Amino acid sequence: MMVIGLDCAAPQLVFDRYRDAMPNLSALMDRGTWGNLRSSEPPITVPAWTCMVSGRDAGELGLYGFRNRVAGETRLRLAGGGDVRVKRVWDWLGEHGYRVAPLFVPLTSPPTPVHGQMVSGFMWPGGDAPWCFPRGLETEIADRFGPYRADVENFRANDLDRIYQDIVMMTEQHLDIAEHLWKEKQPDFMMLVEIGVDRFHHAFWRHIDPDHPRHEAGNRWKHLGREYYRLLDTRIGRLCALGDDDTTVLVVSDHGARAMHGGFCINEWLVRKGYLVLREPPGAVSPLDHGVVDWKRTKAWAEGGYYARVFLNVAGREPNGAIQPTEVLTYRDRLRDELNNAKDDEGNRVPTSVRVPEEHYRQARGFPPDLMVYFDDLKLRAIGSIGGGRIIVTENDTGPDSCNHDWDGIFVMSGGGTLGRGRVEGAEIYDVTPTILGAFGVPRPPDILGRDWGSGLGASETDP
């Protein structure tokens, strides 16, 4: 089985706008089963891929985004492979004797021993840090394909020609490595994740999407969407050609993408509501400086990103907690109500979805936020910076970016005796692990989420 992960690949592009530029993927769709793949909560690369390959939700994983809290600190810490404390699909397959090759999957840095080979994903720190299991594979790959390109540097920037060149070189290298390993190591299960798709969307979305509010017709990058998706398709075709009739191909993405219309300045909002108190106001728009927060008078603060994570400042839990543990539920529910009625600068309601991790997940491990907030169904990002004087802004605060993640990614499954059902509805990211295990005849662990598509996607299927 080959699992080809396209980070952030969006259904409206793959299934619709660029389908004619993707004859190989289109052929897989014609023969196979495909549709939207509902992402994790939150729909973010970390934790989404780990949810996909473990059958666990983000709460069970204790991973609420790229960065997470640790005890005794208010600041977040970048997640790493060491934060994954559950087995992933390749571990179970390896235990049953199958040779596996997870390549470039997020949260595989540092690499861990597998029954086969592993190449770390895009959060590899570089330098002398290990990026392959076994380590001898590093020289084998670098000798053939040059220094490892784990990611595109500084992809939220304005030098778009450089960014595109870097994305293409990285994508080509990753697919070269995958082809090489498939041929040389003959894994039973290979899974690669191409992060270039995500980088491409963040850098180029407003240029390729005519519906983006800041799209300029006839811009010089407009054609790159079709060009890049064509490149992906060519490489998918080359990879598939290495398989045979018994090879199941599964193309998946961890979430989709949509135009970003702006952001909701969550900390600015918390200041105005009196929950967040600063000892001095910032002179210019800047990230929330925890050093100037008046913690003794602060009830709540937030971290921005695709969604807002709101934290209460609780005595005994936070270093300078200002509310008592007995008051947590009162403050949380009051904040939830106020966020459900949040208004923009003109006094209009901003649609929000507010979640309580303990209510939403099967478990809320690690250091969950007290509230998770999505703004306008992901049309708006959560802006953590402060000092702009506005609640709604049009630009991202961490560099040029015109793309937000969206709830639905994609899946296309074909070959290897899988049934061709055409387009189906209702598939979820958690279904991927039980489906892979089912295809290999490996018993499904009792406590994971998801359904095995091999045993039927149910009554909602439609004709292609």
Task: Note the residues at the interface with Zn ion (CB under 5 A).
Answer: 7-8, 45, 198, 254
Instruction: Read off the tokens for 115.
Output: 């029954």
Least distance to Zn ion, CB of residue 7, Å: 4
Least distance to Zn ion, CB of residue 402, Å: 16
Which residue number, 66 or 440, has a Cβ lying nearer to Zn ion? 66
CB atoms within 10 A of CB 360: 14
Query: Is there a contact between 232 and 387 (Cβ–Cβ < 8 Å)?
Result: no
Which residue number, 106 or 416, has a Cβ lying nearer to Zn ion? 106
Chain centre distance of CA 48: 5
Least distance to Zn ion, CB of residue 249, Å: 20
Which residue number, 94 or 102, has a Cβ lying nearer to Zn ion? 102
CB atoms within 10 A of CB 113: 10
Residues with Cβ < 8 Å from 369, sequence gap 6 or more? Answer: 64, 303, 309, 310, 311, 357
Q: Which residue is nearest to Zn ion (CB)?
A: 45
Sign of CA dihedral 430, 436, 81, 123: negative
Which residue number, 68 or 267, has a Cβ lying nearer to Zn ion? 68
Least distance to Zn ion, CB of residue 254, Å: 4
Which residue number, 193 or 322, has a Cβ lying nearer to Zn ion? 193
Which residue number, 51 or 372, has a Cβ lying nearer to Zn ion? 51
Residues with Cβ < 8 Å from 386, sequence gap 6 or more? Answer: 265, 267, 268, 271, 278, 282, 285, 286, 287, 288
Least distance to Zn ion, CB of residue 199, Å: 10
Which residue number, 7 or 397, has a Cβ lying nearer to Zn ion? 7
Residue type, 61: L
Torsion from C-alpha of 450, 189, 37, 380, nearest 10 degrees: 110
Least distance to Zn ion, CB of residue 236, Å: 18
